[in-house]
């Protein structure tokens, strides 16, 4: 059975050594996600999640990075997950249509603190969470599921990833891990109506807070001895049967331990939505290639796959493509603060420049194709049609680049000194609880 195979693989994590290249990738994703969580405490979705968690604070077992809050594991995972996806800084996986880090890492951190695990155990659990969560999204249909049923694949895949990581750190045996997956099926949820949320708050919940806390709850219930059905994924009625037109449950275990999906995740250079990464990269290159200023540019034409055109027509500044390109030209670049400044969307100068930018569907473009950009300036047309961007598997960011990004995100919250210590500490194998001294403020 599919569920039994997954349970056995998850329960075997402690006895399975990670290949060196997989461990190295896992450390990068862990660092990148912790930095996103800490920086997210300053943003509206993170602040609202923290207000909720403080009001409902349970037994002070687990911390939320970037805060002084100690609470129970479910609320720590929920708040940490929403902070982790409070914007578009966190990692993603294009084929699975999941942001794995903001679901898996907060759940793993909460359970690692609860059970006093070290960073080595945390790393192994996080990798297991990525592998299971991403495959479960494939099994449900990923983008096809999202389009056909209006479900958020990010949350559905994230729930199983969070459950897997939490089960490892809770030390569940195979039988209880099996039951944790059964309860994960009942917890899995998330609807694409988040796309109409102008403040990114419900999106942060759907992508990060909901799956992280659901995964922890499923593990706590299984650990307490609650029992359920043995075939919740592949049985009928069951999860795959509910999404019969898009699901292929065998994909949940395909290639486990043979190829590693975490190595196909994307670490973002820019703290913006993934469809905008290539457009910003291309505009930066055009400005440098042509020695251009904003005044030199007559217009900018961007084409994208049709589905992505809808995504980047957003009331959220960090997902609105014309706004971000205009902001880049007006300011001579973008920063974390300017990207998230809602007031700049009403800035007359930015709006004036944005009016010269068009975004249209590109005929024949596949869902994974990137933005193509044309800059018309000084009587010539400069065109860019990238096939990948920095941070994708074809052009990965280096450890130094990820560390530099993390320092930029961590320092405004915890201070430059503690940020540097935290980056170093996450590369070690010490107790997870000792990180509180570096990320609690």
Looking at residue 146, what is its pLDDT?
95
- Domain identity same for 237 and 288: no
Lowest model confidence (mean pLDDT) among 362-371, 372-381, 390-399 = 362-371
- Domain identity same for 210 and 300: no
Pairwise CA distance, residues 66 & 88, whole Å: 18
pTM metric for this prediction: 0.92
389 lies in a domain? no
Q: Which residue has the tokens 């880049």?
A: 328
DSSP 188: -
- Domain identity same for 243 and 115: yes
392 lies in a domain? no
Mean pLDDT for 148-173 is 98
44 lies in a domain? yes
Give the pLDDT band of residue 337 (cuts 50, 70, 90): confident
How many CA within 13 A on the CB side of residue 285? 16
Mean pLDDT of all residues belonging to the chain: 96
297 lies in a domain? yes
Give the pLDDT band of residue 274 (cuts 50, 70, 90): confident
Asked whether the predicted pLDDT for residue 184 surpasses 90, the reply is: yes
- Domain identity same for 296 and 198: no
Looking at residue 273, what is its pLDDT?
85
391 lies in a domain? no
Domain boundary among 361, 384, 407: 384
Looking at residue 11, what is its pLDDT?
98
390 lies in a domain? no
CATH of the domain at 315: 3.30.1330.120
Asked whether the predicted pLDDT for residue 304 surpasses 90, the reply is: yes
Looking at residue 305, what is its pLDDT?
93
Q: How many domains are contained in the chain?
A: 2
Rg (CA), the chain: 21
- Domain identity same for 261 and 279: no
Asked whether the predicted pLDDT for residue 147 surpasses 90, the reply is: yes
**8 Å CB contact between 54 and 13:** no
- Domain identity same for 247 and 286: no
Pairwise CA distance, residues 168 & 114, whole Å: 12
Query: Residue 333 sits in which domain range?
Result: 274-384
Lowest model confidence (mean pLDDT) among 73-82, 214-223, 273-282, 310-319 = 310-319
**Peptide bond connecting 360 to the previous residue in cis, omega within 30 degrees of 0:** no
Which percentage of the chain shows pLDDT scores above 70?
100
Which two tokens mark 190?
């998330």
Give Cα 420 to chain centroid, integer Å.
23
CATH of the domain at 41: 1.10.4100.10
**8 Å CB contact between 374 and 381:** yes
- Domain identity same for 50 and 124: yes
- Domain identity same for 401 and 340: no
- Domain identity same for 56 and 157: yes
Mean pLDDT for 333-342 is 90
- Domain identity same for 293 and 409: no
Looking at residue 314, what is its pLDDT?
83
Domain boundary among 340, 362, 384: 384
121 lies in a domain? yes
Which two tokens mark 84?
């982790």
Non-local (6+) Cβ contacts of 42 within 8 A are 412, 413
53 lies in a domain? yes
- For residue range 28-76, what is the model confidence (pLDDT) as tens digits? 999 999 999 999 999 999 999 999 999 998 899 999 999 999 999 999 9
Q: Which residue has the tokens 């030199």?
A: 296
Label residue 12 exposed, middle or buried (CB < 10 Å: 0-12, 13-18, 19+): middle
- Domain identity same for 211 and 345: no
- Domain identity same for 215 and 77: yes
């Amino acid at each position: 059975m599919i569920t039994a195979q997954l349970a056995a693989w998850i329960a075997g994590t402690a006895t399975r050594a990670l290949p060196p290249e997989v461990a190295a990738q896992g450390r990068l994703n862990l660092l990148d996600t912790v930095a996103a969580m800490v920086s997210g405490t300053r943003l509206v979705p993170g602040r609202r999640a923290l207000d909720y968690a403080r009001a409902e604070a349970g037994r002070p077992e687990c911390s939320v990075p970037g805060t002084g809050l100690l609470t129970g594991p479910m609320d720590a995972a929920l708040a940490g997950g929403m902070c982790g996806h409070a914007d578009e800084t966190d990692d993603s996986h294009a084929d699975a249509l999941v942001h794995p880090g903001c679901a898996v890492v907060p759940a793993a951190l909460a359970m690692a603190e609860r059970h006093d695990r070290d960073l080595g155990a945390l790393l192994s659990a996080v990798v297991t969470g990525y592998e299971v969560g991403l495959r479960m999204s494939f099994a449900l249909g990923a983008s096809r599921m999202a389009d056909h049923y209006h479900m958020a694949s990010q949350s559905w895949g994230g729930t199983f990833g969070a459950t897997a990581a939490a089960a490892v750190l809770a030390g569940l045996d195979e039988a209880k891990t099996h039951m944790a997956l059964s309860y994960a099926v009942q917890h899995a949820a998330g609807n694409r109506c988040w796309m109409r949320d102008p403040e990114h708050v419900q999106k942060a919940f759907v992508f990060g807070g909901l799956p992280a806390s659901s995964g922890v709850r499923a593990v706590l219930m299984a650990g307490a001895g609650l029992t359920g059905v043995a075939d919740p994924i592949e049985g009928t009625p069951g999860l795959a049967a509910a999404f019969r037109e898009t699901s292929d449950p065998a994909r949940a275990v395909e290639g486990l331990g043979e190829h590693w999906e975490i190595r196909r995740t994307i670490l973002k250079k820019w703290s913006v939505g993934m469809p905008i990464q290539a457009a910003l990269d291309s505009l930066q290159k055009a400005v440098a290639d042509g020695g251009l200023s904003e005044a030199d540019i007559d217009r900018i034409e961007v084409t994208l796959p049709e589905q992505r055109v809808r995504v980047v027509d957003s009331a959220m500044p960090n997902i609105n493509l014309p706004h971000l390109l205009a902001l880049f030209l007006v300011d001579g670049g973008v920063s974390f603060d300017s990207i998230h400044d809602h007031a700049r969307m009403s800035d007359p100068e930015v709006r004036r420049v944005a009016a010269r930018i068009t975004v249209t569907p590109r005929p024949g473009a596949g869902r994974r194709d990137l933005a193509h950009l044309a800059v018309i300036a000084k009587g010539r047309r400069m065109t860019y049609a990238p096939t990948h961007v920095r941070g994708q598997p074809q052009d990965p960011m280096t450890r130094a680049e990820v560390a530099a990004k993390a320092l930029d995100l961590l320092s405004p919250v915890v201070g430059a000194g503690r940020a540097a210590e935290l980056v170093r500490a996450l590369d070690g194998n010490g107790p997870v609880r000792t990180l509180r001294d570096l990320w609690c403020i």
